[in-house]
Amino acid sequence: MKKILLFLCLIITLTGCVRYDVDVSFPHANSGTMIQHIKLGEQLTSFSETEGNIWLKNIENQAKDLQGKIKRISKEELVVAIPFNNGQELAEKFNQFFVPSISEKSRKKLAQNDSISLLDLNAKMSIEQNNLLLFERNTLNFKADLTPLGVIANDGTIIISSGDLIDLQIQFDFPWGAKLITNDYPKWEKLPNNQYKIALEAGQINEVQAIFWLPNYVGFGTVSIVLFILLGYYLKYRKLPLISN
């Protein structure tokens, strides 16, 4: 009951206190960028400034470890861009970065605070890749357990969801579109230019599977080199290699 009353007070006083957007741009099989935009509302910074500062600072530190670029817009707002070279690297960096780890010293400081912490969230991404030389078929699986952001009754129903407190969204940019498969959560919509916006549901386990194709420019380059060599050989000898008269 005490936890429910705490959530009620927080929802009333801290509406829209955290905005957490993730944008994954995957233009082709060999390059991409993951951009994270985090904004803490003024209500949160005044209510729990210590936790917000620790969280943003740890995001900055992890971005540096992953060769990311950091833009601190204000003391409450941060944008981070993390590059990746393939799907496997995307999954590895996402799993390290979506919910940043913190030092034991910082965790002890947060333990003294009764406010909601994003550090208990659990998110994981995996990608299966099938390389067909010129094209690559990808199956992306994403799961985010956001049950810590809700108060659950004994029968399993959510009494209070902190969705009003935390706005979590992920957007994927697939150049050739994708097939998305979800359960009841989360909800998603297709935007122009083959962008897929997914609104994660607080207090729920969110699962998404995306099947998409990407051009493999390394494969295109390899084929182009082979064709160029064959053309040069033919122009010089007027016949193709491995073909006898």
Which one of 18-22, 41-45, 101-105, 155-159 scores highest in mean pLDDT? 18-22
Q: Residues of the chain with pLDDT > 70: what percent?
A: 69
Q: Which residues pair with 34 in a beta bridge?
A: 24, 82
What's the rounded mean pLDDT across residues 36-62? 73
Question: Are residues 208 and 182 in contact, defined by beta-carbon separation less than 8 angstroms?
Answer: yes
* Confidence at residue 83, expressed as pLDDT on a 0 to 100 scale: 95
**Domain of 147, in residue numbers:** 2-217
| 245 is a domain residue | no
Q: Which residues pair with 24 in a beta bridge?
A: 34, 172
Q: What is the pTM of this model?
A: 0.73
| 231 is a domain residue | no
Average pLDDT over all residues of the chain: 76
| Band of residue 7 on the pLDDT scale cut at 50, 70, 90 | very low
More confident residue, 226 or 99: 226
* Confidence at residue 114, expressed as pLDDT on a 0 to 100 scale: 45
More confident residue, 17 or 158: 17
Which residues lie closer than 8 Å to 139 by C-beta, 6 or more apart?
A: 127, 128, 209, 210, 211
Whole-number Cα distances in Å, 243 to 3, 231, 233, 236, 240:
79, 14, 12, 15, 6
| 228 is a domain residue | no
What's the rounded mean pLDDT across residues 61-84? 91
Residue 140 has pLDDT above 90, yes or no: yes
The whole-angstrom distance between residue 50's C-alpha and the CA centroid of its chain comes to 25
* Confidence at residue 8, expressed as pLDDT on a 0 to 100 scale: 32
| 239 is a domain residue | no
| 240 is a domain residue | no
| 223 is a domain residue | no
Residue 102 has pLDDT above 60, yes or no: no
| 243 is a domain residue | no
| 244 is a domain residue | no
Residue 185: closest CA among 172, 173, 168? 168
Number of domains into which the chain is organized: 1
